Amino acid sequence: MREGLKHICFDLDDTLYEQIAPFKEALYPIHKVSKEKLREIYKSFRIRSNELFFRHQNKEISFEAMQIGRIQQALNDHGILIREEEAVGFQAAYQKGQYEISLSDTLVEILNYLKSRDVRISLITNGPYEHQLKKIRSLGLEKWIEEKDMFISSAVGISKPDERIFHMVGESGLYVGDSYENDVIGAKKAGWEVIWLNKYGQQESDQYADFTVRDERELQSLLLNFFDFDGSCMC
């Protein structure tokens, strides 16, 4: 870590809130599975989401086709077939659930702690502007992050893992995200220190992350070790 660290940037989805919660609520009316199976299907959903998101970015498929295709393909990966109308229903419920999210107590403590130490907090997220902005507002992130420090891919024209979106933020610092490909690799290429929030035990052969934590409590403990009580870095 560099001395005098004064800037932390967060990913949004599955970093500042648990995306699997609205996923579960949307999936169960269509197909109920065990807790373990749910996690595996959700991993597939994230992979398919990334694949189809970049196809959408390249104008190969529509946004609606991306939304419907990712759940159909993720379930198909596990031998579960659903009709198109079921996929449409899933997407409607999933999107509604994403606007009913809230920060955990631990994340509120983390953000309050950083703000009290005069650490600049920013955010980079991939996705449609209005959709991501609604989630940002649902979480109340404006309390800790200024609008000028929120970078939404569709608004700036560049998506993670392209290192240019990280450079747009300005000064590099510490980046926290859950996606190995989009967050860890992208941020490291842009010259950031990276904390990988690896909630689902993903295995990677190349370890680019400077630090890896498994949950919000481990993240909180790590960040508390980075700063002393006057806001200076303890590294």
Residue with the larger pLDDT of the pair 235 and 75: 75
Cα angle, residue 161 at apex, residues 195 and 167 outer, rounded to 5°: 80
Look at residue 7 and tell me whether its pLDDT is greater than 90: yes
Distances (CA, A) of 182 to 113, 120, 176: 26, 22, 11
Backbone angles phi, psi at 32, to 5 degrees: -85, 135
- Nearest-CA neighbor of 114 among 174, 172, 184? 174
Per-residue pLDDT band at 115 (split at 50, 70, 90): very high
Written as six digits, the tokens of 161 are 């893992």
Parallel/antiparallel/unpaired status of strands 7-10 and 174-177: parallel
Pairwise CA distance, residues 80 & 44, whole Å? 12
Per-residue pLDDT band at 234 (split at 50, 70, 90): very low
Look at residue 235 and tell me whether its pLDDT is greater than 70: no
Model confidence pLDDT, tens digit, residues 123-149: 999 999 999 999 999 999 999 999 999
- Nearest-CA neighbor of 160 among 32, 3, 15? 15
Model confidence pLDDT, tens digit, residues 13-62: 999 999 999 999 999 999 999 999 999 999 999 999 989 999 998 899 99
Q: What is the mean pLDDT of the chain?
A: 92
This model's pTM is above 0.85: yes
Model confidence pLDDT, tens digit, residues 160-214: 999 999 999 998 899 999 999 999 999 999 999 999 999 988 887 667 899 999 9
Residue 205: predicted pLDDT: 63
Residue with the larger pLDDT of the pair 79 and 234: 79
Residue 15: predicted pLDDT: 98
